[in-house]
Amino acid sequence: MDARILVIDDEQDVCDMLAMVLEGDGASVVACRSPHKALEYLAREEFDAVLTDFAMPEMAGIQVCERVAGMCPGLPVLVVTGQASMEAAVAAMRAGAFDFITKPISDPLFITLAVNRAVEHYRLCVELKRLRIEVAAAAAPSDLVGSSAAMRQVNETIVRIAPSDVTVLVCGETGTGKELVARRIHATGPRKNGPFVAINCAAVPLALLESELFGHARGAFTDAKVERTGLFVQAHRGTLFLDEVGEMPLEMQTKLLRALQERKVRPVGKSTEVPFDVRVVAATNRDLEEQMEEKRFREDLFYRINVVRISVPALRERPSDVLELAHYFLRRHAERRGETPRRISMPAAKKLTAYDWPGNVRELENCIERALAFARYDEITIDDLPEKVGSYVEEQFVVVANDANEIIALDELERRYVTRALVLLGGNKARAAESLGIDRRTLYRKIERWSEQQMPASASRLRATRPEEAPVAKIA
C-alpha cells in the first residue's frame, strides 16, 4: 500500500501497533496521541486516509470526522472503537466516517484491508473529479486563444487549480486578458453555476469602494437612500474578481484583508457582520513586490491573495499566437454579422506578426475590428490596418557604426539594451536587474524616467546586430 495514513489514538501502545501494521503493508504513517496536533498535520500535509479512535478525552472521534470533512472533503476517516453498538456506528457514519472498525482487532489483516479499500476509493474519487474538470474545461467555450508554450502553461495551471477554492493572483500587462483567465477559472470550477462578480478597484473612489465591496445600510451616508448589498455577498457561492487590486488604497487593503480572513463583511452603517462564501481571484498589472518594498501594498494581504499566481504573457512574448488570435477575432465578428469570415493577406499577416502590440490582445482586437470596417474585399490588406501597424518597421539594435548619422545618445543606447533584456527575460525586472548587474531600484528608476519620456513601444522588439554584420565606428 503506497499511501500516507494519519493515525489518531490517545494510547501510545495502540498508535505503535497500528503504525507497525500499516507500515508493514508499505504505508507511510504519522501517528498522534493528540487530535488537535493531528489536525495541524492535516492542515499542512497531504494524507490518503485517517484512522482515529472513537473515544478520546481531548476530542471525540465523531468530532474528528466532522473536522476532517470540513478541512479535506472526501478524505476517508476510519473510526476504531471498543463500543460495538449500532448507535455508535450510526453516529460515526452521520459524522462522515468511511468505515467503522470494532476492537479488539484479532487479525491485523482486517485493518490493512479496510485502509486499502478506503485509500483506493478516495483515489478513484479524486481521479474522477479531475477527469470531470478536464472534460468540462475542454468543452467550455473560452476566449483564451493561443497555442504557444506560454498559453499552454496558463491553461494547464487553470485546469489544475479550478477544482479547489484556492485564491488566485493573475498578473500581466493591461490588455493581456486577465479577466478572461478569471472567468475561465470560474467556468471550469465547482462554482460555475454561481455568480461571477467583477469590480475594477482603480475605477471606484475610496469613499465608495467600501460600500461597493461590503454594502451599506440605509442612511449610512449622504445619498444612501436604500440599503445596498455588497459585492462579496452578491458573489456568494460564486467568484469575486478584484481587478487592479494594486491600485487599492492602504486603508481599504486593511479592511479587505480582514474580510478575507474572517469570511465576513460588515456593511457601512451596520453593527452586524454578514458571512459570505466566495472564491477570490485578484488581478494586477503592477509589481506588488515592489509596492510592498515601498510600503504601498500590505505584505500580509499580498501573501493572502498570492496563494497561486498566474502570469499572463504579453502578446509580444508569444508572437506565434498573433495570427491565431486575429483569425479568432475575424470569425467572431463574422458570426455576429452573419457573414463569411474574411482572410488576411500575406503582407498584412507579416505586419501583424512584426508589430509590438503594446496594447496586447485588446489592441489586436481593435485593429481587426478597424480593418473589417475599412476592408473593401474578401481579404484584409495592409491598407486596411491602422497606420502604425501597416507602416511598422522593426528597429535594429546597432552597437557599432562608421557613419556620424548612425551615432545615438548613450542614454538611448542604454534604454534599448535594458528594454531588450526585459523582453528576453519575459518582463521579469528582478532577473533583468541581476543580469544587467544593477540594483533593482536603479532599474525601476530608469524605467520610470523612460516612461515619462514616452518610450516608443517599438523599442521592445530590438534586434542585436552581430559585429560582423555592422560597420565598425571610427573614433578620432
pLDDT digits (tens, 9 = 90+) for 128-161: 877 776 676 566 556 788 889 999 999 889 988 8
Q: Three-class SS of residue 197?
A: strand
Which conformational region is residue 325 in: left (phi greater than 0), alpha (psi within -120 to 50 degrees), or beta? alpha
Q: What is the CATH number of domain 396-469?
A: 1.10.10.60
The architecture (CATH level 2) of 4-129 comes to 3-Layer(aba) Sandwich (3.40)
pLDDT at 167 over 90: yes
List the beta bridge partners of residue 396: 463
Confidence of residue 406 (pLDDT cuts 50, 70, 90): low
Instruction: Cell numbers for 440, please give them.
Output: 533593482
pLDDT digits (tens, 9 = 90+) for 186-236: 988 889 899 999 999 999 888 789 999 999 888 777 777 788 889 999 999
Domains in the chain: boundaries: 4-129, 144-313, 316-390, 396-469
Query: CA triplet 137, 142, 147: central angle to 5 degrees?
Result: 90
Q: How far apart are CA 474 and CA 470, in angstroms?
A: 13
Average pLDDT, the chain: 85
pLDDT digits (tens, 9 = 90+) for 433-462: 888 888 888 888 888 888 766 544 444 443
Instruction: Cell numbers for 267, please give them.
Output: 456593511
**Which position has the grid cell 503592477?**
286
Pick the most confident of 44-58, 164-178, 405-419. Answer: 164-178
Does 144-313 match 4-129 at the fold level? Answer: yes
Confidence of residue 474 (pLDDT cuts 50, 70, 90): very low
Instruction: Cell numbers for 76, please give them.
Output: 476517508
**Mean pLDDT value of segment 257-272:** 90
pLDDT at 248 over 60: yes
Q: What is the DSSP letter of 319?
A: G
Considering the chain, what percentage of its residues have pLDDT values greater than 70?
A: 89
> Distance of CA 264 to CAs 219, 224, 246, 351, Å?
22, 22, 22, 52
> Distance of CA 287 to CAs 2, 172, 185, 316, 395, Å?
42, 9, 22, 19, 28
Residue 401, pLDDT score: 60
Cβ atoms of residues 246 and 284 within 8 Å: yes
pLDDT digits (tens, 9 = 90+) for 315-371: 988 999 999 999 999 999 888 888 888 999 999 999 999 998 999 999 999 999 999
Instruction: Cell numbers for 420, please give them.
Output: 531588450
Residue 372, pLDDT score: 92
Confidence of residue 424 (pLDDT cuts 50, 70, 90): confident
Q: How far apart are CA 302 and CA 358, in angstroms?
A: 27
Report the DSSP pairing between strands 396-397 and 463-464: parallel
Considering the chain, what percentage of its residues have pLDDT values greater than 90?
A: 43
Instruction: Cell numbers for 7, please give them.
Output: 493515525
At 379, which helix (H) or strand (E)?
strand 379-380
pTM over 0.95: no
- The superfamily (CATH) of domain 144-313 is P-loop containing nucleotide triphosphate hydrolases (3.40.50.300)
Which conformational region is residue 437 in: left (phi greater than 0), alpha (psi within -120 to 50 degrees), or beta? left
Q: How far apart are CA 187 and CA 184, in angstroms?
A: 5
**Mean pLDDT value of segment 34-45:** 88
Residue 402, pLDDT score: 63
Q: What is the CATH number of domain 316-390?
A: 1.10.8.60
Residue 460, pLDDT score: 41
Q: Please tell me the number of Cα atoms within 13 Å of 8 on its side-chain side.
A: 32
